[in-house]
A = this chain, B = another copy of it.
């Protein structure tokens, strides 16, 4: 119903809370029917808007014609006009991307810059219901998850799509009814080819058996959007149960992950944030059955099996990764040498070793798993014999360590507390006392030659 378009337009903006009538919106206008109708509607509704046009210089004379057309449209509607011309082909070559990607990047970057400089609240694009349904359907055919089926979103950060409620036919009918002029785009890029194929070949076939298919599919994408909200809520809850942070490293307990349901989806939702592709997520799942030391390397992180944990370490940190020490473990090999661990009954007649390379701790005060790692800024402990806490950095200064020496300092952590700065000092809270019944003795053997 073209004569209801303006009413539906304003109620959609209100219902979806796209923007407030007092806010200023920058309209991306190519000159095609969708964006010209959008600009007209903004004008008719009395919103505060401006027109922005990109000339990608990909279609010679036609590009210039479109630019002139949109400039005239802005004048006719008395809206501010912003324009830019890009060397799209050059950008694509320099950045080794396709023409479509180049145009897209240039466009959004420039629109955002203008929006910001000129004090507009939002950028509006003229995507309509058909665009959204096509996107969802193409994603379905390409293979996707729940996020690929929600179609085009009405609002994403600073970009709004106030025409998503409208069918393409309605926009065309509105233009005809109001005698609105627009230009036709003769381009036929690969991206457009696939989309046009769905628009002209696939969807009309579906409409032969389900005439209301576009509306039905749009309604489906909206329901999927709501379902996705609940899905995300459940995912976040599971992630909280599974992820333990330690500095830059994240730890996932293997047994807990193994029993999570549904495993593939949760693994994907966890590991994709650390550069994991879908295929790599499957490799990470193989680590659940592998031995310690195996790992998968993503573009940003190494995900390594370490005893009963998967450790997610930034690539920058893997020279000295975190190491997990379980209760039953007696020998630990790490970049700084080896640890030998044994637990035994306290014999009050034996003296406590004084070597800084042997830590004797009250076993009842220590919680496994222990974590072995390089020290970092912000670390502190209660050094043996001292009544108050001290920064590890301070301790290293007192010990007059050189910078390279400082870089080789390791600490042992128990339940988020540092219990031993290796070779230097244990923590007072875990020392042997007359009440100690069981002793955890840890000996550090530095790499031979040192």
A197 touches which one: B145, B148, B208 (CB < 8 A)?
A: B208
A residues contacting B by CB (< 8 A) are 137, 140-146, 148-149, 194, 197-198, 201-202, 205-206, 208-210, 212-213, 215-217, 219-220, 223-231, 233-235, 238, 261-262, 264-265
A261 to B228, CA, bound (A): 11
Docked Cα-Cα span, A269 to B197, in Å, equals 37
Q: Which residue of B lies closest to A229 (CB)?
A: B262
Residues in B with CB closer than 8 Å to A262 are 225-226, 229-230
The residue on B at minimum CB distance from A206 is B141
Given contacts A144-B220, A197-B208, A233-B234, 5 further A-B contacts (CB under 8 A): A140-B220, A146-B223, A205-B205, A227-B228, A227-B265
* Bound-state Cα–Cα, A234 to B233, Å: 7
Most buried by B among A142, A148, A215, A216: A142
A265 cross-chain contacts in B, Cβ below 8 A: 223, 226-227, 229-230
A227 to B143, Cβ gap below 8 A?
A: no
A229-B224 Cα distance, complex, nearest whole Å: 14
How far apart are the CA atoms of A261 and B198 in the complex, in Å? 33
> CA–CA, A235 to B223, complex, Å?
14
Copies of this subunit: 2
For A231, list chain B residues within 8 Å (CB).
227, 230-231, 234
Nearest CB of B to A363, in Å:
40
Q: Does B146 lie within 8 Å of A227, measured CB to CB?
A: yes
Contact A230 B223 (CB under 8 A): no
Q: Which 7 A-B pairs have the closest CB atoms?
A: A143-B216, A226-B262, A230-B234, A226-B265, A146-B227, A234-B234, A145-B223
- Return the chain B residue nearest A223 by Cβ: B145
Please indicate the chain B residues that have their CB under 8 angstroms from the CB of A201 in the complex.
205, 208
Instruction: Please give the distance in Å from A299's CB to the nearest CB on chain B.
Output: 22
Evaluate contact between A224 and B141: CB separation under 8 angstroms.
no
- A137 vs B208: C-alpha distance when bound (angstroms): 14
User: Assuming the A-B contacts A142-B216, A143-B216, A197-B209, are A227 and B227 also in contact, with contact meaning beta carbons closer than 8 angstroms in the complex?
Assistant: yes
Residues of the B chain whose Cβ atoms lie less than 8 Å from the Cβ of A145:
220, 223-224, 227
Contact A235 B230 (CB under 8 A): yes
Question: Please, which residues of chain B bring their CB within 8 A of the CB of A198?
Answer: 206, 209
